[in-house]
Structure 1
């Protein structure tokens, strides 16, 4: 069985010196590089300078070593927060196990180049939709607690707190003091943003600082900070600098305030103005209500003055009189008609009585009828031939009837004459 390759098994490990030597040789093969970053720390020694070069977008740092003369003769005065470009060679120190950049040349990032980078970042964020107005969240009318990120004991903090409390005395603040200039600005502001955004009592977050040149406001053009603002679920107000200043975070924030004072006016209402508005609304509401009551009262008065409501039974009474008159006329007409018909019936009865047989019988006449038998039915005698001898007769007179037997016809009573 052959031994395992060195460093590939626990039975045949590499010593630390072997690993460090190999790492140093590998890094040495990388050659020289150009590196851009922000100076986070600067420590000058008699002959050498130690610099901590930081990448603000990724929160990573790199140790830099260079001659002191190189720092003193740099094209710009080097200090913490300055953006620079360095040329050097990476070196790994096996004794300490550390990596550093041995710098031989330092260049400042020109304003034109810086502005060009800012413009490229602006176009990138705009293309991703971070500036879209539809994504802007509205500010609450009256926030419970205002989160304020600003410099310690700064004029911006004093302006925001003083103006906001003068407008709405009950407003509460959750203040986070951070660096607002230099290499530590972005990580501290991002940490404060995350902390305030996670607080359920904070309804709006304000990032405020005073004005300055582009170098002083450079952290607020940082991509990491802009993306962190876009990720917040709490509305964010950007109040960086003065009116002409327009850092990138202004475009990403939900509201841009021209100054910290303007931000204080935007986040809370003016109690005096609101009370005046409430009083005005109360007056207008009362006036509108009184006018409505007066209109309705006038309308009711008009309705009550109408004849149908002023004397609701008048129409019924008028109709009742008409009904009474119609009934009287109908009764009168019926009485007249009955009287006329009664007279007519009386006249007809008199005529009938006059023409009827009863009246004739009363004057002494009689009606002679044959009594009915098996051979014929009874009939009124009209000739003597109708009453032969032996025929039974019924003689009706005025007060009754009698029966008789016929002896036959007599001689002509008119022959003797």
Structure 2
């Protein structure tokens, strides 16, 4: 618990500093990781600043020269180290510092193992999935560029982009691309460009370097910041063989800064050639279609039904006349044949008719009842008979019969 004080009973500075020293002394010895900056040696003591690789925080560290020289390889400015320290608070000066007991450089193998573990964690969260990556605009109006101050990477991107498309515009954010300030400055530049509505795509680039130089671009906070961007991000870090985690989360990876310029900005010459080719192809397609339609129209117009409609009517009229004449001939022949048959039938009927016999001088004797008398023996005197002649009838009475 803190000491009880009041305006009437304050504590002197020495008491407060001694209490702070006691509190810090309870920390004991701990292992701390950081990046060495401001490394100097005076006599038998080495002074350095141990900076946090992500946050803008640092602490002073002192160690004996023997401790420093016992580290193999010896740490230099910018090196990542793990230091076994004891926290000290100097009461007389009111200052805080670490006293190094042992210094161990962070080896490449250990760094790679850490990066691999971080890569697996981020991959499991889906930050590297292809379905979340966005397509770059065909022709960005303004390109945001995050690069080192007066760096070769900046010149490569600007020169190659303007050579390909002279009208392209850039908003350049010059930041530290290695060291303890890199992560914070790159993240801030990324946030600034992502919030600018004029920026259509962001390029994060720097030249090649060692694994330690490129470590800021595998920092978890920076990787998550890129994943949260609304603007498409292109990563162009180092050379082809370099592969920081930023390459995996970015919407597009470029092998070099020059390659980034080629992938972000189209080549005006190539596009003009493509336009000419597409225009010529379109003309050929339309011309071919018009030729086919014209040939079809000509073939349709050359058909008799369209070229000479009256000819078809005449042909149909000739067919009608021919059918009419044919029907007349058929009907006339049928009537003639029927008339001849009727005449033959009439002649036969006449030949078989009793009237023909009567014409030859015969007559038919009938009783009043119509019965035909065939024998005289069937008659008696006084019977009334009718004689049927060819043209008329005669009524007679029987006066005498003879055999």
Task: Normalising by structure 1, report the TM-score.
Answer: 0.75
Q: 1:369 to 1:182 in 2, by over 3 A?
A: same
**CA-CA distance at 1:236 after TM superposition:** 1.9
Tell me how far apart the structure 1 counterparts of residues 402 and 132 of structure 2 sit (CA, whole Å).
151
Residue 37 of structure 1 aligns with which residue? 34
Tell me how far apart the structure 1 counterparts of residues 156 and 350 of structure 2 sit (CA, whole Å).
134
Residue 99 of structure 2 aligns with which residue? 103
Secondary structure of the 1:219 match is helix
Secondary structure of the 2:57 match is strand
Tell me how far apart the structure 1 counterparts of residues 349 and 211 of structure 2 sit (CA, whole Å).
142
Tell me how far apart the structure 2 counterparts of residues 89 and 290 of structure 1 sit (CA, whole Å).
86
Residue 152 of structure 1 aligns with which residue? 149
Tell me whether 1:61 sits opposite 2:57 in the alignment.
yes
Is the 1:220–1:247 contact (alpha carbons within 8 Å) kept by the matching residues of 2? yes
Residue 339 of structure 1 aligns with which residue? 336
Is the 1:45–1:68 contact (alpha carbons within 8 Å) kept by the matching residues of 2? no
Secondary structure of the 2:382 match is coil
Larger Rg: 1
Aligned residues: 393
Q: 1:35 to 1:402 in 2, by over 3 A?
A: same
Is the 2:81–2:104 contact (alpha carbons within 8 Å) kept by the matching residues of 1? yes
Which deviates the most, 378-387 or 242-251?
A: 242-251
**CA-CA distance at 1:186 after TM superposition:** 0.9
Residue correspondence of structure 1 range 46-125 to structure 2 within 5 A: 52-57=49-54, 59=55, 61-64=57-60, 66=62, 79=77, 81-92=78-89, 100-104=96-100, 107=103, 109=105, 113-125=106-118
Tell me how far apart the structure 1 counterparts of residues 199 and 81 of structure 2 sit (CA, whole Å).
38
Tell me how far apart the structure 2 counterparts of residues 164 and 311 of structure 1 sit (CA, whole Å).
67
**CA-CA distance at 1:228 after TM superposition:** 2.9
Tell me how far apart the structure 1 counterparts of residues 396 and 69 of structure 2 sit (CA, whole Å).
188
Which deviates the most, 45-54 or 198-207?
A: 45-54
**CA-CA distance at 1:187 after TM superposition:** 0.6
Q: 1:240 to 1:345 in 2, by over 3 A?
A: closer
Residue 191 of structure 1 aligns with which residue? 188
Tell me how far apart the structure 1 counterparts of residues 36 and 265 of structure 2 sit (CA, whole Å).
39
Tell me whether 1:139 sits opposite 2:136 in the alignment.
yes
Is the 1:147–1:175 contact (alpha carbons within 8 Å) kept by the matching residues of 2? yes
Residue 167 of structure 2 aligns with which residue? 170
Which deviates the most, 315-324 or 351-360?
A: 315-324
Which deviates the most, 221-230 or 160-169?
A: 221-230
Secondary structure of the 2:274 match is helix
Tell me how far apart the structure 2 counterparts of residues 192 and 250 of structure 1 sit (CA, whole Å).
18
Residue 250 of structure 1 aligns with which residue? 247
Residue correspondence of structure 1 range 2-401 to structure 2 within 5 A: 22-39=19-36, 52-57=49-54, 59=55, 61-64=57-60, 66=62, 79=77, 81-92=78-89, 100-104=96-100, 107=103, 109=105, 113-128=106-121, 129=123, 136-243=133-240, 245-295=242-292, 297-298=294-295, 325=322, 328-371=325-368, 377-401=369-393
Which stretches in structure 2 are left out of the alignment for 5+ residues? none
CA RMSD, 1 decimal: 4.3
Is the 2:140–2:265 contact (alpha carbons within 8 Å) kept by the matching residues of 1? yes
- What CA deviation, in whole Å up to 9, does each residue of 1:256-289 have, x standing for no partner? 3233222111111011210111111211222233
**CA-CA distance at 1:72 after TM superposition:** 10
**CA-CA distance at 1:383 after TM superposition:** 2.2
- What CA deviation, in whole Å up to 9, does each residue of 1:355-402 have, x standing for no partner? 53434444444333222xxxxx33122223333222222233344223
- What CA deviation, in whole Å up to 9, does each residue of 1:317-370 have, x standing for no partner? 778767755654554344334323323432442443355343444444433322
Tell me how far apart the structure 1 counterparts of residues 65 and 111 of structure 2 sit (CA, whole Å).
31
- What CA deviation, in whole Å up to 9, does each residue of 1:204-253 have, x standing for no partner? 21112234444544433434323433443433222233455444433443
Task: Normalising by structure 2, report the TM-score.
Answer: 0.77
**CA-CA distance at 1:90 after TM superposition:** 1.3
Tell me how far apart the structure 2 counterparts of residues 45 and 15 of structure 1 sit (CA, whole Å).
40
